[in-house]
Structure 1
Amino acid sequence: MPKIVSLFSGCGGLDLGFHQCGYKTVWANDFNKWAAETFTRNFGNVMHCGDIELIDPYIDDSIPHCDLILGGFPCQDFSIIWKRPGLNGERGNLYKSFLRFIDAKKPKAFVAENVKGLLSANKYKAIETIIKDFENITPGYLVKVQLYNFAEYGVPQFRERVLIVGIRKNTGFNFIHPSPTHGNKELLLPFVTAGEALEGVEQIKSNNEHMNIQPKTIEMLKLIPEGGNFTDIPKEHPLYVKGMISHVYRRINRNEPSKTIIAAGGGGTWGYHYPEPRPLTNRERARLQSFPDNFEFIGNNAEVRRQIGNAVPPRGVHALAKALLPLFENSYQYENLDKISDKLKRMSIRERLLLDTINNKNI
């Protein structure tokens, strides 16, 4: 069973996806108290809550050997929703702690997750720097980056995230990002819809409390059709609002995956049910993130919402976790990763980011 060291773990969505495919987390870290408590409740006593920048993985004997390092280093400085200072931001350089752990533990592989905005932050300089830093860790890592839409991997939510996979070159394992399994194309499974995901959710007790809602908000929601948002309110109506992001007063469409579940924000950003004129409950958000009903979140409504919205949807990384298993089971054909890495390094960063899964098979 491959052993995971988990960094910036949050409530554990990324870990859970790998656990469901036969992996085990043996050590984890997060700074947020409530997320750490949720992680402990669901994974056991492997969480070390605290500032990762104060942990030295080179000398801390409590951090065990691992086969794989996972982590979603903080993404706010790269998000397209917020202003994007990128590597110049207060939190942008926290990925260097991820680098320290990889350098200290030398795992066979690592998986780093971040928002789509990372790809273009600082005019592509951020992702270029991050890739080079990962590649240069001794004894050298082959790094492949891909933008995933998790709806294409069985999650009932359109959610785009960057996954950076690094393979230690001396393993000779040429990892290929897995092709989508769901979508509208021939031979793919159909998307999992929000309606399918929320079926029977009212019977679940944990994290399923309904929020208080103002009568004015109820009347606004009645003006918004299934799948719509605030822009559907007629301009001449007294409840009309303008100048907001598309998440505001967004109602689910039961016949397709939901739009992205976000972690925080007021002013109508909670995500809204249809046909009921109300905010989604946290359990409903968790269903749309593909968390099982026995996964219990700790904290108040806002804290739990943050944990769910920041998480990687577990089902979305199943294909990736399975694609990595041959590395840990020694069931693959050895390839010269130095040659493959050299080909990638000769490409511009934009050329590398344009590579799709099919092209990667030839590299």
Structure 2
Amino acid sequence: MSNTLAISLDKIRSDRKNPIADFDNKDAVITHFLHNNKNGVSKFFRKDAIAYTNEIIENYVSDGLIEYFTESNYKLEIFQNIEIPFVPNQKPKFKFIDLFAGIGGFRLALQNLGGKCVFSSEWDKKAQKTYRVNFGETPFGDITKERVKKYIPDDFDVLCAGFPCQAFSIAGKRGGFEDTRGTLFFDVAEIIKRKQPKAIFLENVKGLKSHDKGKTLETILNVLRNDLGYFVPDPKIVNAKDFGLPQNRERIYIVGFRKDLQISDFEYPKPIDKTVSFSDVKEKDVVETKYYLSTQYLQTLIKHKERHESKGNGFGYEIIQDDEIANAVVCGGMGRERNLVFDDRITDFTPTTKIKGKVNRNGIRKMTPREWARLQGFPDNFIIPVADASAYKQFGNSVAVPAIEATANEILKLIVE
């Protein structure tokens, strides 16, 4: 019976004429219920989970299975992925929510520390797919919508959010809560205001510090400290290379604590004493030919760099040696071009994709998505179910897991008894 439905669910996701309206949101409700059906959080999903389950079954499974799902036994377990690499903690030390979740970097870090994710949200469909196959849960969609916010449970401990950076229109204003309307930070602030978690942990690009001449960060801190009443120490620029990853990736971390906890001091984690290099994450086996640059593409990169160097600019491709650390992995082609590597193990130079020219004989290739995953601290059992272009984007947008974990550990020391 479960195998029959599993096949049906695959069909639902690939069926462009899917008769289940808003299926991804309904799958989010069902999977969130499944992960929380043994704690008090289940009440936020229970009624809709049962209704949506019956609706899906009525459309895709024979009538004989309908009776299997009743309010008294709610056997929705067959909607759950049986085998996922990162199973939720059954006896968690704390609860957290994962906003702008991406592919689950925050979730992975906080689960490693004994936490239980009770709500996740991510609007990108391909990132949702990666999240689900790894954690068995579909994140809710657009967090700006009230129909999504209504599912956020009460009484969780930590709010995590890697929210996008946006400018605020604060000219001539005090730069408070109302002045952030229309930005994604406003939705984060609104959730904090409603739910009052013990702690908040926000991550953003380093440029947030100087964004709009510092006004954006100033407004964020003013909202958190004065409007929402949280103790927020000065934000910290944290580099992934200081936490065991061979990547020069700087991001700004903002943490905060509810004032009634009477926390007045917080220290970000100190860098660990560990020397790492690209060789630590390099593929052990020969890499597929498709990752090697064509001769024409390589010449284009060389000429592009030469033009910029003649003007005194430092732009252009870069080749990372095995004993060096990578540049930051970011979205877009430049993130890959500034992280090329030498790998002369290739023996078959037959192109496997349409390229102009031939496969270069210098052993110059792009890093693979798995190497990018390792640069961000994702373990090798993390499943990559999407095409390479999407995988590069997802890991480029993600957080450096060990740096997040080290910082979260310092937070938990203050809020978890």
Please, what TM-score do these two structures have when normalized by structure 2? 0.64
Q: Does 1:291 align with 2:381?
A: no
Name the residue aligned to 1:54: 145
Q: Does 1:93 align with 2:177?
A: no
Superposition RMSD on alpha carbons, in Å?
A: 3.1
Contact 2:199 2:255 in 1 (8 A): yes
Instruction: Map Cα deviations across residues 70-113 of structure 1 (whole Å, 9 max, x no partner).
Output: 011113x5xxxxxxxx3359998211111111111110001010
Name the residue aligned to 2:293: 213
Q: How does 1:100-249 map to 2 (within 5 A)?
A: 100-138=190-228, 140-144=229-233, 145-182=235-272, 189-198=273-282, 200=284, 202=285, 210-211=290-291, 213-218=293-298, 231=305, 248-249=316-317
Select which of 377, 381, 406 maps to 1:319.
Answer: 406
Q: How many residues align?
A: 296
| Cα gap change, 1:44 to 1:328, in 2 (>3 Å) | farther
Could you say which structure has the greater relative contact order, defined with CA pairs below 8 angstroms and 6 or more residues apart?
Answer: 1
- Return the letter of the residue paired with 2:332: A
- Return the letter of the residue paired with 1:55: E
Q: How does 1:5-20 map to 2 (within 5 A)?
A: 5-20=97-112
Contact 1:26 1:46 in 2 (8 A): no
| Cα gap change, 1:102 to 1:252, in 2 (>3 Å) | same
More moved, 304-313 vs 165-174: 165-174
Contact 1:289 1:308 in 2 (8 A): yes
Name the residue aligned to 1:41: 133
Contact 2:269 2:410 in 1 (8 A): no
Larger Rg over CA atoms: 2
Shift of 1:136: 3.0
Instruction: Map Cα deviations across residues 111-136 of structure 1 (whole Å, 9 max, x no partner).
Output: 01001110011111111100011113
| Partners of 1:53 and 1:267 in 2: CA distance | 29
Instruction: Map Cα deviations across residues 212-265 of structure 1 (whole Å, 9 max, x no partner).
Output: 6322234578x79xxxxx74x5x7xxxx98779857422213223211111123
| Partners of 1:97 and 1:43 in 2: CA distance | 25
Shift of 1:151: 0.8
- Return the letter of the residue paired with 2:409: K
Name the residue aligned to 2:8: none
| Partners of 2:414 and 2:193 in 1: CA distance | 19
| Partners of 1:279 and 1:11 in 2: CA distance | 22
| Cα gap change, 1:172 to 1:210, in 2 (>3 Å) | farther
Shift of 1:191: 3.0
Identity %: 30
Shift of 1:211: 3.4
Contact 1:27 1:64 in 2 (8 A): no
Contact 2:134 2:382 in 1 (8 A): yes
Shift of 1:173: 2.8
Name the residue aligned to 1:254: 322
Contact 1:35 1:307 in 2 (8 A): yes
Shift of 1:171: 0.8
Contact 2:283 2:371 in 1 (8 A): no
Contact 2:97 2:118 in 1 (8 A): yes
| Structure 2: stretches of 5+ with no match in the other structure | 1-92, 171-179, 344-362
Name the residue aligned to 2:120: 28
Name the residue aligned to 2:155: 65
Contact 1:25 1:46 in 2 (8 A): no
| Cα gap change, 1:2 to 1:154, in 2 (>3 Å) | same
Shift of 1:11: 0.7
| Structure 1: stretches of 5+ with no match in the other structure | 78-85, 183-188, 225-229, 331-363
| Partners of 2:309 and 2:376 in 1: CA distance | 29
Contact 2:129 2:385 in 1 (8 A): yes
| Partners of 2:168 and 2:332 in 1: CA distance | 22
